[in-house]
Structure 1
Amino acid sequence: MDGPKDIKAIGVLTSGGDCAGLNAAIRAVTYRAAVGFGWKVLGIEQGTAGLMQRPVQARALTTDLFDGALLRSGGTLLGTTNKGNPFAFPRSDGTVEDRSNEVIEGYRSLGLDALIAIGGDGSQAIIRKLAQQGGIDLVCIPKTIDNDIGATEVSIGYDTAVQVASDALDKLQPTAASHSRIMILEVMGRDAGHIALASGIAGGADIILIPEIPYSIDHVVQKIEALRQSGRNFALIVVAEACPGPDGKVVAREGRYGGVGHALGEALEKRVDAELRVTVLGHLQRGGQPSPRDRLMATVFGTHAVDLVASGRFDRTVVWRNRQVDDVPIEEAIATYANVAVDGPLVRAARALGVSFGDAVPVVLGEAE
């Protein structure tokens, strides 16, 4: 039930894939809770998996831990997991079992009054279900490099992922120009093309392929030929991992996206007379030093999450919209998926620059007043 309550200790955990900015969020939670309210803060290690262990994997978090280095560090000092749903936990014989009660019992053994969970939509859905089942007062903080949680304009980790991809294009361009090559950069993003779109624009890509806009290899070849006819001796292509291959089929290994860059490269080698190289960034987009914006958003999200706990407002996710921090019910946050708006301002800006999305949409010329 919402409403102020007597808080003495809270827990914080990270769940799902890691990303840059998580330590900044943990730092903000610790400082706001310990200094602002005098609460004890426990960091739960390895996400919900840590709550299954006996003894529970948790450590005290104090402001002394944050001497400045962790703010600048990628990953998460608490560790995380993106597998092992406690409601359907895999067993060695291939079956699954419900271990949710073990997680709840582990949480209760810590004597906590509330929990702050940092995770994407999948993690938030699982932890909310645990909270409802176990009567846990929960607040969530959004993090995902994919930036596909619809209730928030930005999630922790996205800005750094875009920066890494843009930096890769900055490094690939001189080599492409020096050797007259076509460079293909495959980036992450799950089912959304946000990273590909933003980094492609920022990094000066000629062709951006995202899952939201169907493409054909014919139109990709046409763009490359147009560049050549204009006097350009190279091309930069960014492709999101969820894009289908040139044959229209999803490219994945063991249920995970990956490989579309090479599939595209193989198809283009048969159609264009140019050397071609493929770079797959993969997990480079998750690690590394967080960008200033990711540190900033993580700090704002972390302090606001603690303030929600202090005011007794639970079952909510912190969000950023309309240039300010806000919060919405967790159910609302995870119910709204945000992929790229195909007629949105970024796509329009890219098309205005002559960027091809591998489709038949021509460049729209403006009209003079």
Structure 2
Amino acid sequence: MSNNIHRIAICTGGGDAPGLNAVIRSVVVAASNRGWECYGIRDGFNGILFPERYSEGGVFRLTLDRVRGIAHLGGTILGSTNKGNPLHFPIKMPDGSTKEIDRTDEILEYFALKELDALVSIGGDGSLTIANALHEKGLRVVSVPKTIDNDLDKTVTTFGFDTAVAFATECLDRLHSTAESHQRVMVVEVMGRYAGWIALHTGIAGNAHAILIPEIPFDLDKVAAMIASRDVGGHPYTIVLVSEGAEPLHGHREVVEQAEIGHAERLGGIGEQIGKSLQELTGKETRVVVLGHLLRGGSPTSFDRLVAMRFGTAAVRALAEGQTGIMVALAFPNVNYVAMKDVAGRMKGVPLDCDTLQTGRDLGISFGD
């Protein structure tokens, strides 16, 4: 494939994560240093599919001035969305029903019309699946892995994860003192969807007494027994950290909104259920804290900024080398390339034999099993 590139586009899709702006800036700077023009697509691919929504245009020029001073900012200057997947785009039929259509050809036509040579797609599993489909249809694409959940395969970590864990750990630090003062059980719910990475890392770093993750179905009777044991041992308070996708041994995940055409199911509510049940089982006053979208906001940590900038510049190098259909991935000490087809549609959960999980067990943390 020819390496002759003049103009590239950048998009950010799915949930936002600290570090997105650092990636955007690093791509624009590295590309500009090679003489390439950069363009930003608003709100995933909505800037192409719905240009009429944007008074300044759905796709706009990303100059060096436009990205100056944004690396430390949370969110994304391009905007993002987790609805309207162009591979399975929902449309209303005359009879009132909804069906899905593939609109990726419209994206390809736009790239051809505007003479855009390549795409840097920044996102999680959903964005990777879309990017891989565009690649298979002939578009030159390089992906950058982004998710606070850290559930993408073939990369040691994704940017946004460290920031989420750092903030959640600070919250646990604060909750220890108030829980101890009132001799309460504090149940803290964090994001993570079907992977328990945020809960696991936060719980160990923040000295939680129980960590409940999707990979290990939990028995609340065992958690209650641990709480009673702490009371007997002179420690009449407990911190229970739960991932939003955790499931009871003989129950089901808590879902706030069922999956529909155009968007996935939305998890949430497990913290409230556990808090209510533990209060009944233990007789102890229980409070529930849901950190939710607080984990997505704020400035990225220095680790996430560095990873984001390494990913962004690696994406530009990959395009300059003629690469396509690959995702840049962290493999200490380097950033490697992996095929998108080997990552899209795959989730990296917490391995039950991993060192971090074993660390928690050795420290006496309950996982409800």
TM-score range, shorter chain: over 0.9
- CA shift for structure 1 position 131: 3.0
Letter in 1 for 2:76: T
CA 1:148–1:324: 2 relative to 1, 3 Å: same
- CA shift for structure 1 position 337: 2.5
Contact 2:135-2:324 at 8 Å conserved across structures = no
SS of corresponding position for 2:71? helix
1:332 alignment counterpart: 342
Contact 1:141-1:305 at 8 Å conserved across structures = yes
Letter in 1 for 2:241: V
CA 1:324–1:189: 2 relative to 1, 3 Å: same
In 1: Cα distance, 2:64 partner to 2:213 partner: 42
Correspondences of 1:303-318 after superposition (within 5 Å): 303-318=313-328
Asked whether 1:15 is paired with 2:13, we answer: yes
- CA shift for structure 1 position 121: 1.5
Asked whether 1:114 is paired with 2:111, we answer: no
1:280 aligned to 281, 290, 293, which one? 290
Contact 1:182-1:276 at 8 Å conserved across structures = yes
Residue-by-residue CA offset, 1:244-301 (whole Å, 9 max, x unaligned): 2475122112121100000001111111121110011111111111111110100000
SS of corresponding position for 1:71? coil
Letter in 1 for 2:40: G
SS of corresponding position for 2:86? coil
In 1: Cα distance, 2:17 partner to 2:134 partner: 23
1:363 alignment counterpart: none
Normalising by structure 1, report the TM-score. 0.93
Correspondences of 1:68-107 after superposition (within 5 Å): 68=69, 70-92=70-92, 93=96, 94-107=98-111
Residue-by-residue CA offset, 1:163-182 (whole Å, 9 max, x unaligned): 12111101111110111111
2:161 alignment counterpart: 158
Asked whether 1:231 is paired with 2:234, we answer: yes
1:173 aligned to 171, 176, 180, which one? 176
Contact 1:145-1:286 at 8 Å conserved across structures = yes
Can you give the 5+ residue segments of structure 1 that lack an aligned partner in the other structure? 360-369
Asked whether 1:267 is paired with 2:277, we answer: yes
Asked whether 1:127 is paired with 2:131, we answer: yes
In 2: Cα distance, 1:125 partner to 1:354 partner: 40
Normalising by structure 2, report the TM-score. 0.93
Correspondences of 1:51-70 after superposition (within 5 Å): 51-54=48-51, 57-68=58-69, 70=70
In 2: Cα distance, 1:330 partner to 1:163 partner: 29
2:143 alignment counterpart: 140
2:39 aligned to 39, 42, 51, which one? 42
Contact 2:125-2:346 at 8 Å conserved across structures = no
1:343 alignment counterpart: 353
Contact 1:245-1:251 at 8 Å conserved across structures = no
Can you give the 5+ residue segments of structure 2 that lack an aligned partner in the other structure? 259-265
In 2: Cα distance, 1:246 partner to 1:277 partner: 23
> Where do 4+ consecutive residues of structure 1 move more than 3 Å?
none
Contact 1:19-1:287 at 8 Å conserved across structures = yes
Contact 2:219-2:248 at 8 Å conserved across structures = no
Q: Which moved more, 1:336-345 or 1:215-224?
A: 336-345
2:28 alignment counterpart: 30
Correspondences of 1:358-369 after superposition (within 5 Å): 358-359=368-369
Residue identity (%): 42
In 2: Cα distance, 1:259 partner to 1:54 partner: 37
SS of corresponding position for 1:270? helix
Contact 2:218-2:248 at 8 Å conserved across structures = no
